[in-house]
Amino acid sequence: MSFRTVLPSPPWRLLGCLALAVLALTLNASAHEIRPAYLQIEETGSSRYTVTWRTPILSGMRLPVVLRFPAGVRDVTAPAVRALPDSLAETRLIETTDGSLSGKRIEFVGLEATITNVLVRVHVRGGPAAIKMVHPSQPWVEIAARPERLQVARSFIHHGIEHILFGYDHLLFVLALMLIARDWRALLLTVTAFTVAHSITLTLATLGVVHVPGPPVEAAIAFSILLLACEVIRIQRGQTSLSAQRPWMVAFAFGLLHGLGFAGALADLEVPASDIPLALLFFNVGVEVGQLMFIAAVIAAVRLVRLVRYPTYVGRHALLAATYMIGALASFWFVERLATF
């Protein structure tokens, strides 16, 4: 049973209209969300903690966010700042007057005016590390006496979902795969192949088995979207190709590439080695959840427009225009990312 049977031809072509809507979101947005800031608090002795605070640099400017510790906390050593390729990191030793940070709130002044998250990791001696993602809508973190069991899972699942839903290049790639897969069986195989492939390279890259510099990977991802857009045009013209006959093979090949891009997002968090297995598992779960959310939203929208009557040529031209816009945007990203080498 084909898409054209389940969803008649004109509504299927409105996938092009949906692609136009996604493209409209990308015109004023970058291909990826801004990398998060990172705060690590490590208990080193009685009432003393080592604090590492890393803030990303965007367009040569440091993220305008400042730590504010609660009353009763003082610096034992002045912050030592070191410059990294894409961020600034400062380390200091703090001391509490009442013996513990438990129950206290650390604020991120200025975070509410940004779109950046903060990954917070707190490790108290004799206990497991607590990990939490702080968002601009609630720019503070309360240090818990004991970390929640599901806190790590929630944090990394949420980050994985955010990465895929705000990673517009990945969304356009998935949308182009949907345009190539002409029936439900092909769509299921294609999405599954993409998932398996990027899970493989995400795991290998995160564990350090494979290492590929970020800029070439990002450029290659943009080029993969451009190639898919060309394949969609060929299919619309009635030409046959490997993408049309076996879209799952193309999805698997390019999925290996996109997995390296996902690994870069996880690497930006600078997760300690002891937390990598859990972070990898739940971040990947979040990516899959976000991907399924996007696919489900597209399919639901297509089903809704079955109720709308419109001239057939509208869907046909929308699909064609959307495909060319996907190719144009991918070309722009490709050239832009080549310039960063």
List the beta bridge partners of residue 82. Answer: 89
pLDDT of residue 126: 60
C-alpha–C-alpha distance, residues 111 and 181, integer Å: 42
Q: Lowest-pLDDT range, 142-146, 186-190, 251-255, 331-335?
A: 142-146
Question: What confidence category does residue 39 fall into, taking pLDDT thresholds of 50, 70 and 90?
Answer: very high
Where helices occur in the chain by DSSP H, the ranges are 3-6, 9-13, 15-26, 151-165, 168-180, 184-206, 214-236, 242-245, 247-267, 276-304, 312-338
Query: Would you state the pLDDT for residue 4?
Result: 40
The whole-angstrom separation of Cα 241 and Cα 219 is: 24
Residue 211: per-residue pLDDT? 84
Q: What integer is the mean pLDDT of 90-100?
A: 88
CB 67 within 8 A of CB 139: no
The tokens of 152 are what?
């790590």
- 1: pLDDT confidence band, cut at 50, 70 and 90? very low
Lowest mean pLDDT among 26-40, 46-60, 192-206, 261-275: 26-40
176 confidence band (pLDDT: 50, 70, 90)? confident
pLDDT (mean) for 136-149? 78
Which structural domains are found in the chain, ordered by start?
3-32+167-338 (no CATH), 37-149 (2.60.40)
- Residue 315 confidence (pLDDT) above 70: no
Least confident piece of the model among 21-25, 72-76, 259-263: 21-25
pLDDT cut 90: percent of the chain above it: 23
